[in-house]
Amino acid sequence: MDDTVKLFDGVAVYDGEAVEPLDDAHSIIQPVDGYRFGGDAVALFKYAAQNMRGGARAFDLCSGCGIIGISLALAVGCEVSGAELDTRLCDMSNRSCAINGLDRVEFRNVDIKHIDRAFKRASYDVVTCNPPFFKADSKPRAVAPAANSELTATFDDIARAAAYLLKDGGAAYFVHTAGRLDEILHTCRERGLMPKELTVNVNGKTFLLKCVRGAKQGLVVKTSRF
């Protein structure tokens, strides 16, 4: 066996990767350096999970290492699909599914701008996305710039993909930075995703947003610590 490969519960873990606990019984593979999930992803998972049922079909856009989709599957028991442009992160996600025995979760190496080439329209009850927060022309981040800035997909691309994937009446859940709130609300409406619930972090920096495809107007605003 190659010295750069180790096995964790029979699943390959490569050099530069680490298996880290999600709880006492479950783990996830992450890069040692590079993109690593943070508190925004955890907050989004909890926000989406609170209104989901086990029979739901969920989709995670820009899924990264798979933290949101894997957490939803473990907590709710739902079926999950995901799309991630980074080949390495997508592979990590699927190996994390194997570690956790999740056979109803699958991540594909897909560009969300061409989501229609890989997934059927109106097939999902829930869509989640922890998107890049910053415009492509913003100051580049030293670590995982494509995960932080809109270098490969804009929020409009994300909203369009979510609207394509969702059934009528299905819910999209996003986390984003407060500085772009007006733009995010406008874009969601333009794409047929009606904002229904806005939860602003008490620190004033980020927000969680629930939109419903094809719903009528009516937005509830809350505050929370996340």
pTM: 0.95
Q: How far is CA 120 from CA 155, 169, 215, in A?
A: 21, 16, 21
pLDDT score for 1: 41
- Binned average pLDDT, 10 residues per bin, the chain of 226 residues: 77 96 96 90 98 94 97 97 97 98 97 98 98 86 77 97 98 98 98 98 97 97 96
Q: Give residue limits of the domains in the chain.
A: 36-224
pLDDT score for 35: 81
Element (H, E) at 38: none
Q: Report the CATH number of the 36-224 domain.
A: 3.40.50.150
pLDDT score for 146: 75
pLDDT score for 3: 54
What value does the CA radius of gyration of the chain take, rounded to a whole number of Å? 17
Q: What is the pLDDT of residues 44-87, one digit of tens each?
A: 999 999 989 989 999 999 999 999 999 999 999 999 999 999 99
pLDDT score for 177: 97
Q: How far is CA 159 from CA 5, 37, 131, 212, 216, in A?
A: 38, 21, 10, 12, 17
